Structure formats: C-alpha cells, structure tokens
C-alpha cells in the first residue's frame, strides 16, 4: 500500500462568471502521507474551505485531480463519488452535527449503517467512545451533552469507518479555549495512535502547538509551511 493517501495535482476552482468570477483555488498541488496531521491555515476568504470541500469530494474542481488512496476521484460518477466518500472519508464539522434524538452511541454508529457495514459496529463504536473519554455518556441523547462532549462524539463518528482521511473544518471554532485545547490534543493523539491522517482547517494555528505539517493558503494558492512569500506575483 502506498504511503501517500492524498494527492492534489494542479487543482483549480473557479466560482461564477464575468464580473462575479472568483478564482478560489489556483493550481494547488501537494500530497499527504498516511498518519500525517496536516493543518491548513490562511486568512478569511483565502480558499481553505473550498480546498477542504475538494478533498472531501463535496464539490468538484474546475480542473486538476484529487487522488485519494490511489483513485483519481475526478473520473468517478456522482454515485460512485458518494460511495467512495462514505467509505474513505470521515468528517468533523465546526458544529458537531449530531442527530439530536439519537443517543451518542447511535450517532457514532451512523456512518457504519449508512455504509451498510454494521458487523462489529457497536463494539467498535464503544471502543472509540472509550478512547475519546465518553464511555459513561454513550446512552445519553445527543442534545443532552456539552459542546465539548458532542465534539468528542463527532471525532469518534469521524473515525468509525476507518477512513483513509479525516477532514475537519474549524473543529474547535465553536468551543471555549480550554475545551478546544482538549479536542486538539485528542485529535493529535488519535492521529498517532491509529496512524490516522487528519486534514484540519483552522484559523487558530497556535491552538495546535507542534504539528506534522502546515500548508498556508493565500489568495487560493498553497504554500508549504507558515511563512508565505510577502511579495506575491499575482499576475501569473
């Protein structure tokens, strides 16, 4: 199995036409290894969510390739893309997006039911809930737990399908700084423990401390590391 789980090749995304045209991603190319925790940072409107939506197969690039686990997803039909997304990707959102009327445990098992792989799903969901420190809360309804607990459940839910990549867009954006810190540490420890790739968009790089890798997006272009060139040649 290749060590590279994600490859972007000259990805461009253009929204709108004429006066309203926005070149949201401009020739973005990089690859990510198994087990890597990658932060995507950049100012508001730089293209971070657009990039995450391309990697998450929630939207298609205007051109370029998104290769996940060796599959060039740009060639897949819409049906195949959904199937592929459910089996290969896990998602953590800013708001935990749990189903309010289901228990924590049922929420964590949900991606498995959707995928139709229910064998051992309860056992594995409970193991994950233990790993995120929620074992004692798993029978509670999702609307009866705290924001931090809900986000822990969302992390367990994001991992339950053994995804190739877990994607998170501002996963701590809705939490106070102390709770955010524990959620950050949890994602970092799960990345190490499970050799799980995480791609995380954040506006608060410092919350994360030391991480494997950072990519900065500026005006739709991707730069390795935290320092972007100060004089941008935007005309090319």
Ligand X SMILES: Nc1ncnc2c1ncn2[C@@H]1O[C@H](COP(=O)(O)OP(=O)(O)OP(=O)(O)O)[C@@H](O)[C@H]1O
Binding of residue 234 to ligand X (CB under 6 A): no
Query: Is 46 near ligand X (CB under 6 A)?
Result: yes
Candidates 30-38, 40-48, 120-128, 152-160 — which segment interacts with ligand X by CB under 6 A? 40-48
Nearer to Mg ion (CB atom), residue 49 or residue 196: 49
Contact in structure between 160 and 125 (CB atoms under 8 Å): yes
In the bound state with Mg ion, the residue whose beta carbon lies nearer, of 49 and 103, is 49
95 forms part of the interface with ligand X (CB under 6 A): no
Nearer to Mg ion, 50 or 107 (CB): 50
- Chain residues 3-32 in contact with ligand X, contact rule CB under 6 A: 15-16, 22, 24
* Residue 49 touching ligand X (CB under 6 A): yes
Q: How far is the CB of 25 from Mg ion (least distance, A)?
A: 13
**63/118 with CB nearer ligand X:** 63
CB under 8 Å to 178, separation ≥6 — which residues?
none
Q: Write the binding mask 34 to 53 for Mg ion: x where contact by CB under 5 A, - elsewhere.
A: ---------------x----
Instruction: Using CB under 5 A, list all residues that contact Mg ion.
Output: 49
Instruction: Using CB under 6 A, list all residues that contact ligand X.
Output: 15-16, 22, 24, 42, 44-50, 203
């Amino acid at each position: 199995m290749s060590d590279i789980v994600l490859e972007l090749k000259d990805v461009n995304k253009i929204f709108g036409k004429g006066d309203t045209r926005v070149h949201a991603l401009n020739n973005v190319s990089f690859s990510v290894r198994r087990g890597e925790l990658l932060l995507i940072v950049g100012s508001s409107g730089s293209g971070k969510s657009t990039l995450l939506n391309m990697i998450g197969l929630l939207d298609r690039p205007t051109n370029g390739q998104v290769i996940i686990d060796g599959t060039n997803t740009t060639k897949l039909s819409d049906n195949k893309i959904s199937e592929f997304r459910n089996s290969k990707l896990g998602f953590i959102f800013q708001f935990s997006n749990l189903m309010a009327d289901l228990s924590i445990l049922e929420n964590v098992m949900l991606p498995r039911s959707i995928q139709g792989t229910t064998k051992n799903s309860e056992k594995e969901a409970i193991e994950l809930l233990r790993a995120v420190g929620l074992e004692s809360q798993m029978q509670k309804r999702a609307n009866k737990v705290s924001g931090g607990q809900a986000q822990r459940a969302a992390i367990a839910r994001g991992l339950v399908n053994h995804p190739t990549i877990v994607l998170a867009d501002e996963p701590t954006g809705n939490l106070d700084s102390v709770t955010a810190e524990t959620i950050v540490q949890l994602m970092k420890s799960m990345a190490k423990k499970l050799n799980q790739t995480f791609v995380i968009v954040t506006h608060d790089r410092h919350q994360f401390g030391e991480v494997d890798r950072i990519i900065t997006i500026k005006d739709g272009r991707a730069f390795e590391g935290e320092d972007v060139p100060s004089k941008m040649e935007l005309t090319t």
